C-alpha cells in the first residue's frame, strides 16, 4: 500500500489531509544490542537493547499543497520512537512540528525544529549524529533548562534560501515568550557551499538558557554561543569529513565554560552493499568542571551492510578516553544513564538493524 494512502487513512478523521496535494507517512525503526562498560561509581558494565544506533528512530507525517504560481504550503510533524520499550512515556512531535511556505524565494518555516546553527554543520559527522560513534560537540555542557544542547528550539521562525551557484544559507529566530528579559531567546544562521564533491558550511548561533538553581527560585542565566565549521570532500573511493566547533557558556558569577571540539572522519564503500566508517573526535573542555581543564579523545569504527534500500545491518565500536576529570560518556539511546567516573575511559559496542519506511 502506498505511504500516501496510509497517511490519508490516519488523518482522515480530522479532514486535514484531504486539503493536501500529497501527504506522506514516513519513519525509521532502529534497534540494537548494546554493551558499555565503566558506568558510575561502581565502574559497572551494562548490557541491553538500545535504539537509534545508525539513525534516530522516528515516525512522522509531511504534506505539501500546491497553491499555484510556484507557491507551496507544507507541514511536517515528527516524533521519536523508542523501539526497545514502545515509547513508554508516550509519543510527541518534539523532533519537528512546523508549517512552511515555499517558492522561488526559498522557504519560511514556523514551529519547533532543528536550529539553523545545527542542521547543516552537524551533517559532516560520518556517524550521522546517532549511536556510540556520533560527534558529541552538541552536548549539554552546562545543563540548565530545556534544549541546552543547541540542537532544537521551540517557537522558531526560520528562512532557508534557495541555492545560488552552489551557495545557500539560513537564518532563524526563536521567541523567548517572556514578559520581561529574554530567557529562552535564540538566534542563529549558516552559510554553505555545495558543488560536486566539495561541501563546506559555517554556522553561528546564540541561545539564552536558564533554569532555577538548586534550592532557589532565581534563574541561572547562561548565554550559549556556538560556532561550527564543517567540510567534506568525496574522492569517490572514500569521503573525508571534518568539523571544528566552539561552544562558550557565559554565566554570571561562574567561570565561563568553553569547549573546543574537533572531528575528522572517513567513510568508504565496501563492495556493492557495505560502508565502513571511522572517526576521531576530541573535546577540549575548560571549566566544564569548574576551575579545571579536561579533555576527552573519542575513537569510533563502524560498518553498515545494506540488505536493501530500506533495511541495513550495522555494527559500531567506540572508545572514549577521558583525562583530567573529564566525564564525557558514549551516547547510546535506550540504555539509560551511561556516564563514567571522572577521568575513566569507556568502551561501547552496538550491533543492530535499521528499517526505513
Query: Do 324 and 292 contact (CB within 8 A), yes or no?
Result: yes
Full set of structural domains in the chain with CATH: 3-356 (2.40.160.10)
And the C-alpha cell for 357? 519506511
For the cut 70, the answer to whether the pLDDT of residue 161 exceeds it is yes
Query: Do 293 and 326 contact (CB within 8 A), yes or no?
Result: no
Query: Do 133 and 318 contact (CB within 8 A), yes or no?
Result: yes
Its pTM stands at 0.90
Bridging pattern class, strands 96-103 and 71-80: antiparallel
For the cut 70, the answer to whether the pLDDT of residue 28 exceeds it is yes
Distance (Å, whole) CA 46 – CA 338: 8
Query: Do 12 and 20 contact (CB within 8 A), yes or no?
Result: no
For the cut 70, the answer to whether the pLDDT of residue 18 exceeds it is no
Question: Any idea which of 110-124, 228-242, 253-267, 300-314 has the lowest mean pLDDT?
Answer: 253-267
Q: Average pLDDT for residues 154-175, to the nearest whole number?
A: 97
- The residues, any chain, with a CB within 8 Å of residue 349's CB and separated by 6 or more, are 34, 35, 36, 132, 315, 316, 317
**Residue percentage of the chain with pLDDT more than 70:** 91
For the cut 50, the answer to whether the pLDDT of residue 200 exceeds it is yes
Query: Do 148 and 142 contact (CB within 8 A), yes or no?
Result: yes
Query: Do 208 and 184 contact (CB within 8 A), yes or no?
Result: yes
- Distances in Å between the Cα of 296 and the Cα atoms of 119, 284, 320, 325 are 24, 7, 7, 9
Q: Is 47 exposed, middle or buried (0-12, 13-18, 19+ CB in 10 A)?
A: exposed
For the cut 80, the answer to whether the pLDDT of residue 15 exceeds it is no
For the cut 90, the answer to whether the pLDDT of residue 88 exceeds it is no
Q: Is 113 exposed, middle or buried (0-12, 13-18, 19+ CB in 10 A)?
A: buried
Choose between 97 and 217: higher pLDDT.
97
Amino acid at each position: 500500500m502506498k505511504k500516501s494512502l496510509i497517511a490519508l487513512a490516519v488523518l482522515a478523521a480530522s479532514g486535514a489531509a484531504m486539503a493536501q496535494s500529497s501527504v506522506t507517512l514516513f519513519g525509521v525503526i532502529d534497534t540494537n544490542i548494546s554493551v558499555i562498560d565503566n558506568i558510575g561509581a561502581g565502574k559497572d558494565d551494562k548490557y541491553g537493547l538500545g535504539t537509534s544506533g545508525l539513525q534516530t528512530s522516528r515516525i512522522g507525517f509531511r504534506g505539501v499543497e500546491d497553491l499555484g504560481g510556484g507557491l507551496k504550503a507544507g507541514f511536517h510533524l515528527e516524533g521519536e520512537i523508542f523501539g526497545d520499550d514502545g515509547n513508554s512515556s508516550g509519543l510527541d512531535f518534539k523532533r519537528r512540528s512546523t508549517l512552511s511556505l515555499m517558492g522561488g524565494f526559498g522557504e519560511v518555516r514556523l514551529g519547533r525544529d532543528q536550529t539553523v546553527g545545527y542542521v547543516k554543520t552537524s551533517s559532516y559527522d560520518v556517524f550521522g549524529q546517532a549511536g556510540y560513534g556520533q560527534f558529541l560537540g552538541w552536548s549539554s555542557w552546562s545543563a540548565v533548562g530545556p534544549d541546552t544542547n543547541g540542537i532544537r528550539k521551540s517557537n522558531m521562525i526560520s528562512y532557508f534560501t534557495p541555492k545560488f551557484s552552489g551557495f545557500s544559507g539560513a537564518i532563524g529566530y526563536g521567541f523567548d515568550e517572556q514578559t520581561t528579559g529574554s530567557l529562552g531567546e535564540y538566534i542563529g544562521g549558516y552559510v554553505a557551499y555545495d558543488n560536486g564533491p566539495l561541501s563546506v558550511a559555517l554556522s553561528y548561533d546564540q541561545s539564552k538558557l536558564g533554569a532555577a538553581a538548586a534550592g532557589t527560585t532565581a534563574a541561572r542565566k547562561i548565554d550559549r554561543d556556538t560556532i561550527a565549521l564543517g567540510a567534506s570532500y568525496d574522492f569517490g573511493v572514500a569521503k573525508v569529513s571534518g568539523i571544528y566547533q566552539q561552544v562558550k557558556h557565559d554565566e554570571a558569577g561562574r567561570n565561563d565554560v568553553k569547549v573546543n571540539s574537533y572531528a575528522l572522519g572517513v567513510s568508504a564503500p565496501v563492495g556493492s552493499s557495505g560502508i565502513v566508517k571511522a572517526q576521531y573526535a576530541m573535546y577540549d573542555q575548560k571549566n566544564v568542571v569548574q576551575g579545571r581543564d579536561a579533555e576527552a579523545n573519542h575513537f569510533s569504527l563502524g560498518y553498515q551492510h545494506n540488505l536493501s534500500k530500506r533495511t541495513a545491518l550495522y555494527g559500531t565500536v567506540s572508545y572514549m578516553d577521558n583525562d583530567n576529570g573529564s566525564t564525557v560518556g558514549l551516547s547510546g539511546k535506550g540504555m539509560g544513564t551511561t556516564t563514567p567516573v571522572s577521568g575513566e575511559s569507556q568502551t561501547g559496542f552496538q550491533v543492530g538493524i535499521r528499517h526505513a519506511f
